[in-house]
Amino acid sequence: MSFPRYPQYKDSGVAWLGEIPAHWRVERLKRAASVFPSNVDKKSYDDGVPVHLCNYTDVYYNDRITRDLDFMSATASAEQIAKFTLQAGDTVITKDSETADDIAVAAYVPVDMPGVVCGYHLSVVRPTRDIDGAFIKRLFDSAFVSASVEVRANGLTRVGLGQYALDNLQMPFPTLEEQRLIAEFLDRETAKIDALVAEQRRLMELLKEKRQAVISRAVTKGLNPDAPRKPTGIEWLGDVPAHWSVAPIASRYTVQLGKMLDATKITGKHLRPYLRVFDVQWDSINTSELPEMDFDETARARFRLLSGDLLVNEGGSYPGRSAIWLGELEECYYQKALHRMRAVAASRDTSRFLFYQMHWAANQGVFVSGGNETTIEHLPAEKLRRYRFAFPPLAEQLEIIAFLDVEVAQIEALLAEAELAINLLLERRSALISAAVTGQIDVRGFVEYAA
């Protein structure tokens, strides 16, 4: 759908904004709204009044602050309650973050919220009488305001926008009636886009479930559905083909944890590139701009990667995450927190089959306590060596790998298409908001027509 432009435009006088409709005006935010940061923290005090706290994540992950959100319990003073209780028409924004692009993320408050208080790291933007709060929220959603905020942010370990800079943000405003029409139009159109995004995300979840099911069936049951089975005695493994071997990893692979990082050895005569945990993603290894550290002769012999080695994440957010080193660099090593798994010659195994086993086990929650994937866990070498998996003969491993490589590649292609569709929809959403709130398109007739 294409939208017309306004009949006449004028220079806004603001470099980032350019031209605006001739009847619009530019105001500093402090003229259009009261902006005040909250000082209500998450702690509860004996002399405080119990309240529900609207905190950073409530704003960051929601377009609207409504009663059905799971607010944190906290306390506040009478003065804080009077000042920071959320009211209909408020917009709540993030006032600082770890990165500049996360500043001024906004959520709108459509109705009065007695008992719900704005929390720390947030600011309330409360509009004046002739300003519509929903329009203010959409201004903060626009790429133009986001970019303006980002360039004004400052800080080192945590960046933020000072009160003066926030108060003096210059924003475009039509009449109050037109603000409401634009906000209404954007609510309707973004809801349509959000529904399409949600559909694509549901599709992605279904595709991931299918990928997991295909891998699970292949690495635990094989490709022959009629093959006789035997019990393994391992709850999470179940029955496997009778001719497969069930053995601890240590009997088939050597497991070697990486080299401890040493800040004193970032210079030296034997500097070599090494992989970090975040360089090893599922079935993908980053080899660009790797750091270097001094590896003496003993360390080079112990930690050098060979083509076919399987690298496994030892801990953090995803224990068991794995990828195969294919010799992308002539010489490379790896840090502690990564395991290198190398097939024992006598085992006649291939690391690609073990990769699929690790993918299945990690996504089943095998490597975390109680199967809870949100738990920060570690997978020490001693524990990893003891895990028992089912191993078919090498020829059958190769057949399963060939099957899975094709099946998984097809699913990955569909996942990539869905992700691309989501990105295009979100770009469309952002562009529509920016164009509407800066007057680059005239949507008034479309709201009246829809009504």
The pLDDT value given to residue 372: 45
Q: What is the mean pLDDT of the chain?
A: 91
In the chain, the number of structural domains is 3
Residues 321 and 425 in one domain: no
Predicted model pTM: 0.83
Do residues 55 and 143 both lie within one domain? Answer: yes
> Which pLDDT band, with edges at 50, 70 and 90, does 99 fall under?
confident
Which structural domain range is residue 441 located in? 1-9+175-209+394-451
CA 120 centroid distance within chain = 23
Whether 356 maps to a domain, the answer reads yes
Pairing of strands 322-324, 310-313: antiparallel
State the amino acid at position 58 in one-letter form.
Answer: D
- Paired tokens of 117: 């208080």
Domain end marker among 341, 368, 391: 391
Residues 6+ apart with CB under 8 A from 148: 16, 169
Of 152-156, 337-341, 378-382, least confident by mean pLDDT is 152-156
- pLDDT tens-digit profile of 101-140? 788 999 999 999 999 999 999 999 999 989 999 999 999 9
d(CA 140, CA 187): 14
Q: Which helix (H) or strand (E) holds 357?
A: helix 351-363
| Cα separation, 86 vs 183, whole angstroms | 20
Do 331 and 205 share a structural domain? no
**216 in a structural domain:** no
% of the chain at pLDDT higher than 90: 77
In this structure, is residue 433 part of a structural domain?
Answer: yes
Instruction: Give yes or no: residues 229 and 293 share one domain.
Output: yes
Do 35 and 105 fall into the same domain? yes
- Give domain status of residue 20, yes or no: no
Question: Within a domain: residue 218?
Answer: no
Residue 163: inside a domain:
yes
- Residue whose tokens read 């405003």: 173
pLDDT at 260: 87
Res 232 pLDDT > 90: yes
Predicted local confidence at residue 374, as pLDDT: 47
- In whole angstroms, give the CA distance from residue 385 to residue 379: 10
pLDDT value of residue 102: 85
Please check whether residue 217 lies inside any domain of the structure.
no
Residue 371 predicted with pLDDT over 60:
no
In angstroms, how far is CA 412 from the centroid of its own chain? 18
Q: What's the pLDDT band for 283 if we cut at 50, 70, 90?
A: very high
Shared domain check, 326 and 398: no
Residues 6 or more apart in contact with residue 410 via CB below 8 angstroms:
none
Helix (H, G, I), strand (E, B) or coil at 208: helix
Identify each DSSP E strand in 142-283 by its residue range: 159-160, 170-173, 229-231, 239-241, 245-248, 253-257, 271-275, 280-281
In a domain, 324, yes or no: yes
**Lowest-pLDDT range of 43-57, 71-85, 110-124, 356-370:** 356-370
Same domain, 155 and 288: no
Give 83's contacts (C-beta < 8 A, 6+ positions apart).
36
Question: Long-range CB contacts (< 8 A, 24+ apart) of 367-374?
Answer: 367/319, 367/320, 368/319, 373/318
